[in-house]
Amino acid sequence: MSEHLLGPVKQVYRWIEASERWVDREAINLYAGTNRQSSAVRRAMQTTLNARPSLGDPGDKYETGLEYSDRIETWTCDRIRTVFSARWVEHRVLSGSMANLYALMATTKPGDTVYAMPSAAAGHATHHQEGAAGLYGLHVENIPLVPGTHLINWPQWQEEVAQLHPRLIILGSSLPLLPVDVAKAREIADAVKAYLMYDAAHVAGLVAAGRFQQPLQQGAHLMTMSTYKTLGGPAGGLVVTNDGDLAQRIHAIAYPGLTANFDMARVAGLGIACHELEVFGQAYADQCLRNAARLAEELVARNIPVWRPDGEHSEQITESHLVAIDASNYGGGTRAARRAEASYVLFSGIPLPIPEVAQDYNGIRLGVQEITRLGMHEAEMAQVADFIDKALNAPERAEKTRREVREFRREFQTVQFGFHVDED
């Protein structure tokens, strides 16, 4: 192959390298919905399994030549069942969003009413009109909240549910700072024979480690999730349940329904990521929770307006890996994030249920899962808070902050809480 034909390919490789250098090695990445995978997970994903078709269930595939591929699939499903204490799993799911679509299709029919966390409280698009729920023809009602908080207004909700007879209640959001009372929501669901689903996209790794609420054990009929956020695996989705009827329906929606062949390299990587959670999950999740709590304290000490999900007079800030900031003073969360990017501090905007900042998310969402996996402890959170402070409040010194961030990041390059099979 002549050299010049490889030009565009080399360009792509240079972009990949540049992205990896900046995002993985130099910046402080506090974006909540991401993570770094161990070299063991990455190694499994970079194999030719990623283009080997595999239709159906292990042991009963349409194609031949899948003996070892089937073993991987079975092993991975065992790992998933173990970490989530679930009897059934559907792993043939391309994303958390598709997991939600599968769950909606298994529990409702177009025209049905469902309840979800309002968008202003970071209810996910797939739970709402603009996403999977609306596209599938569902009518979505907002779970009523106490104004300015993430607290559910239970008496009001109970009355509404009795009148509107939803078929499904969706708990979980893109800003799960505190656990929600799943058992109480189940009572509300039971009163009208509705299903209860918990979307654990962000907290899946903490749930797997037993360090966040256990929605299935607390009464959710099914739980969906993304696999690349706190879980630390490849991009993808999962549905888990202890309800055999639901499991059968979801299984049929996956195959032959919506997923024919799927990426077995992803499944191998996912199995290894779940095995890592079996081995290192508790230490990882504990450190995430301690780091988030300390980061919140350090931000408060710097007069950064940390948002409290139980109301401004509450002590509570977070029981997960996340911290939210009221971004009203920073021109909204998205603009703050764009400004902070120049300082190599990465995060995103998020809606908070407080008065809107025009045309923008009014909050900032920070997640400590990635910096925790890179080896940062409570002691480093003061430094991280300083960088956030500078990125938010001193954009004019972005170039200087960026150099300081790069220097600080040098010591935190190795992915912890995972297996290593080559240099990482």
Ligand X SMILES: *Cc1c(COP(=O)(O)O)cnc(C)c1O
Binding of residue 107 to ligand X (CB under 6 A): no
**Whole-angstrom distance, CA of residue 169 vs CA of residue 127:** 10
Return the residue nearest ligand X (CB atom).
Answer: 96
> What are the E-state strand segments in 10-124?
28-29, 56-57, 60-61, 88-90, 113-116
Among 128, 150, 202, 402, which residue interacts with ligand X (rule: CB under 6 A)?
202
The pair of structure tokens assigned to 43 is 């190694």
Q: Return the number of the residue (97 or 108) whose C-beta is nearest ligand X.
A: 97
Query: 241 phi and psi, to 5 degrees?
Result: -160, 160
Residue 92: name the closest of 238, 257, 235 by CA. 238
Among 119, 126, 214, 320, which residue interacts with ligand X (rule: CB under 6 A)?
126
Dihedral (CA of 78, 82, 86, 91) sign: negative
**Whole-angstrom distance, CA of residue 327 vs CA of residue 365:** 10
Among 173, 320, 348, 362, which residue interacts with ligand X (rule: CB under 6 A)?
173
Q: Which helix (H) or strand (E) holds 321?
A: none
How many CA within 13 A on the CB side of residue 354?
24
The pair of structure tokens assigned to 217 is 């054990």
Size of the site for ligand X (CB under 6 A): 15
**Whole-angstrom distance, CA of residue 337 vs CA of residue 370:** 17
Q: Return the number of the residue (231 or 327) whose C-beta is nearest ligand X.
A: 231
Taking the complex as a whole, how short is the minimal distance between the CB of residue 379 and ligand X, in angstroms? 29
For the segment 343-402, give every residue that binds ligand X (CB under 6 A). none
Q: Return the number of the residue (38 or 348) whose C-beta is nearest ligand X.
A: 348
**Exposed / middle / buried, residue 110 (Cβ in 10 Å: 0-12, 13-18, 19+):** exposed
Q: Which residue has the tokens 């779970």?
A: 143
Taking the complex as a whole, how short is the minimal distance between the CB of residue 217 and ligand X, in angstroms? 20
For the segment 10-39, give every residue that binds ligand X (CB under 6 A). 33
Stretch that binds ligand X, among 96-104, 335-343, 354-362, 416-424 (CB under 6 A): 96-104
**Whole-angstrom distance, CA of residue 254 vs CA of residue 252:** 5
Q: Which helix (H) or strand (E) holds 224?
A: strand 222-226
Taking the complex as a whole, how short is the minimal distance between the CB of residue 172 and ligand X, in angstroms? 5
* AA letter at 80: I
Stretch that binds ligand X, among 35-43, 62-70, 92-100, 356-364 (CB under 6 A): 92-100
Q: Return the number of the residue (99 or 392) whose C-beta is nearest ligand X.
A: 99
**Whole-angstrom distance, CA of residue 281 vs CA of residue 273:** 10
Q: Return the number of the residue (167 or 202) whose C-beta is nearest ligand X.
A: 202
Q: Return the number of the residue (130 or 190) whose C-beta is nearest ligand X.
A: 130
Q: Return the number of the residue (33 or 305) whose C-beta is nearest ligand X.
A: 33
Among 237, 269, 309, 363, which residue interacts with ligand X (rule: CB under 6 A)?
237
Taking the complex as a whole, how short is the minimal distance between the CB of residue 101 and ligand X, in angstroms? 10
Q: Which helix (H) or strand (E) holds 238?
A: strand 237-241
Binding mask 289-318 for ligand X (x = CB under 6 A): ------------------------------
Among 104, 132, 185, 201, which residue interacts with ligand X (rule: CB under 6 A)?
201
Q: Return the number of the residue (237 or 281) whose C-beta is nearest ligand X.
A: 237
Q: Provide the binding-site residues for ligand X, judged by CB under 6 A.
A: 33, 95-97, 100, 124, 126, 172-174, 199, 201-202, 226, 237
